[in-house]
Amino acid sequence: MLEKAAETIAKYNMAEKSESLLCCLSGGADSVALLLSLTELGYKVRACHINHQLRGEESDRDERFCVDLCGRLGVPIEVHRIDVHAYCAEHGVSVEQGARELRYGIFAECGCDKIATAHTLSDCIETAVFNLARGTGLTGLASVPPVRDNVIRPLIECSRAEIEAFLNERGQTWVTDSTNLTDEYTRNRIRHGIVPKLREINPSLEKTMAGTLENLREDNALIRRLTDELYERISRDGGLDAVELLSADRALSGRAIRRLLGENGAECSRETALRVRQLCEKGGRLTLGYGRYAALRNGLLVVEREREEIPDTELTAAIGGEICFLGKNIRLTLENDCIVQKKLTNFCADYDKIKGVIVIRNKRNGDRLRLCGRNFTSEVKKLLQAKFSPEERRRAVILCDSEGVIFVEGYGFAERVKADQTTKTVLLCKIS
């Protein structure tokens, strides 16, 4: 097993001897074998044990075992205790997912070059079967990757039987998680029921599956690279060119769609990707969940946030001060007429032409105004559609007097209040 682990590290370029490694140590056979193999191979190793506090005294037993083992081996160890149940209740996730998120959050702060986890070939086989039963693609069938970012898995080509033999040869004990002995969890049912049946069909199951998984990973890596090339080629302004997307190979376009969905926080299953592809063909809008939707915008497939309901909001303007309105800072100031001589702009108004108090508000149905230099009135709705995204339109600043709209953000003041050569007092509007 030790030789196989060394070959795996070299094959996947997992780590250099000069790098510091964090060994994730639970006390189980796999993680104990990982710690021993890394130390025997001469790597600089620190251990990290996380007490999930889910199994009472058994969890504390595991912690003591890991501390004692590292003390005997002379390996530095850090121990973390986490409240998984509280985290899951707060974030609405399963115990398994919550524990994983907490673990990897701690690992990310470890300060080591690489994080070594004890995933084995047996884990990969169980994961592949699990994914196949739920429905998956090539990525799911390829199972657990040997390397992901700075996470390495040196034992990923070693079977559980090889690992236990390695430990027994050294007289090294380990602890057993009692929950692994029951069939309460799906993974345990696969381990205790399905995998032994597969081994009856093929006694060389581990060897055969090792080759199969490697083939799948190689194929998956090629398709991912081709997908990345397509994605970069058709990316435009935060979306994907719909025409080019539809003309690409379906396997690549499907992955490109799922990448776009995932990067924008949307659910990205195969079924959703197929519906998004139909959207590219027919147009329209598709609700994705998680507060997101997909749509076509000027030939681009984009993913946007669902509309946040913003109530009608208005404030009476104060001249000279700064006003916070829907996340923006608005400053209205008065200047003497010298500024008009120097710079006549659409953002200057003749203060004396304004009727009554100035009100700052967002858009209302039916808003209209005649902009400076135009001989016709425009719908504010259409003006905003031409210049702002849906999210920006709902927060666009509108100024009104007693006779109606006098200013639209992005366009300036209305013709009826514009400053000219006769203006005595100029109103300036600045939005930031």
Tally Cβ neighbours within 10 Å of residue 86.
Answer: 11
The residue whose two tokens read 């003749």 is 350
3-state secondary structure of 333: strand
Any idea what the CATH number is for the domain that residue 289 is in?
1.20.59.20
pLDDT one-digit tens code per residue, 23-73: 999 999 999 999 999 999 999 999 999 988 888 888 899 999 999 999 999
Domain identity same for 260 and 134:
no
What local confidence, expressed as pLDDT, does residue 243 receive? 94
Do residue 170 and residue 201 come from a single domain?
A: yes
Is 95 inside any structural domain?
A: yes
- pLDDT greater than 80 at residue 389: no
273-283 residue pLDDT tens: 899 999 998 88
Q: Edge to edge, what strands does the sheet with 147-148 contain?
A: 77-81, 44-51, 20-24, 114-116, 151-152, 147-148
Strand partners, 371: 414
Q: Are residues 13 and 85 in the same domain?
A: yes
CB atoms within 10 A of CB 80: 16
318 and 290 in one domain?
Answer: no
Q: CA of 315: how far to CAs of 148, 355, 358, 365, 404, in Å?
A: 52, 16, 9, 18, 15
Q: Pick the last residue of a domain from 305, 323, 340.
A: 305
Confidence (pLDDT) at 200: 96
Which among 366, 432, 367 is positioned nearest to 406, based on CA atoms? 367
Q: Could you tell me if 19 and 168 lie in one domain?
A: yes
Say what the pLDDT of residue 307 is: 67
Question: How far apart, in whole angstroms, are the C-alpha atoms of residue 383 and residue 292?
Answer: 25
Q: In CATH, what number is assigned to the domain containing residue 130?
A: 3.40.50.620
The yes-or-no verdict on residue 21 having pLDDT over 70 is yes
Claim to verify: residue 386 and residue 424 sit in the same structural domain: yes
Q: Judge contact between 154 and 14, C-beta under 8 A.
A: yes
User: Shortest CA distance to 138 belongs to which of 60, 213, 205, 71?
Assistant: 213
Do 200 and 246 belong together in one domain?
A: no
Residue 266 included in any domain: yes
Q: What is the pLDDT of residue 427?
A: 86
Mean pLDDT of 116-132: 94
User: Does pLDDT of 288 surpass 60?
Assistant: yes
Range of the domain at 179: 2-215
- Residue 195 in domain: yes
Report helix angle 250-263 to 270-282, nearest 10: 100
Rounded to the nearest angstrom, the gap between the alpha carbon of residue 330 and the centroid of all alpha carbons in its chain is 34
Radius of gyration (Cα) for the chain, nearest Å? 32
Q: What is the pLDDT of residues 161-196, one digit of tens each?
A: 999 999 999 999 999 988 887 787 788 899 999 999
Is the domain of 333 the same as that of 281?
Answer: no
280 and 198 in one domain? Answer: no
Structural tokens at position 400: 């009104």
Domain boundary among 246, 277, 305: 305
In a domain, 47, yes or no: yes
Q: Provide φ and ψ at 196, rounded to 5°.
A: -60, -35
Residue 223 lies in a domain: no
Question: Distance between CA atoms of 41 and 5, rounded to whole angstroms?
Answer: 9
Q: Is residue 227 part of a domain?
A: no
- pTM for the full model? 0.69
> Computed from CA positions of residues 348, 352, 355, 359, in that sequence, does the dihedral angle turn out positive or negative?
positive
- Domain membership flag for residue 372: yes
From its phi and psi, is residue 328 left (phi > 0), alpha (psi between -120 and 50) or beta? beta
- Half-sphere exposure for 246 (CA within 13 Å, toward CB): 14
pLDDT band for 156, please (50, 70, 90 cuts). Answer: very high
Are both 293 and 398 inside the same structural domain? no
Are 288 and 368 in a shared domain? Answer: no
Is 389 a member of any domain? yes
In this predicted model, what pLDDT tens digit does every residue of 59-108 receive, in sequence order?
899 999 999 999 999 999 999 888 888 888 877 778 888 888 888 888 88
Q: Are residues 38 and 121 in the same domain?
A: yes
Query: What is the rounded distance in angstroms from the CA atom of residue 334 to the CA atom of residue 315?
Result: 19
Last residue of a domain, one of 305, 330, 365: 305
**How many structural domains comprise the chain?**
3
Q: Beta-carbon neighbour count of residue 109 at 10 Å?
A: 7
Q: Which residue has the tokens 């927060």?
A: 395
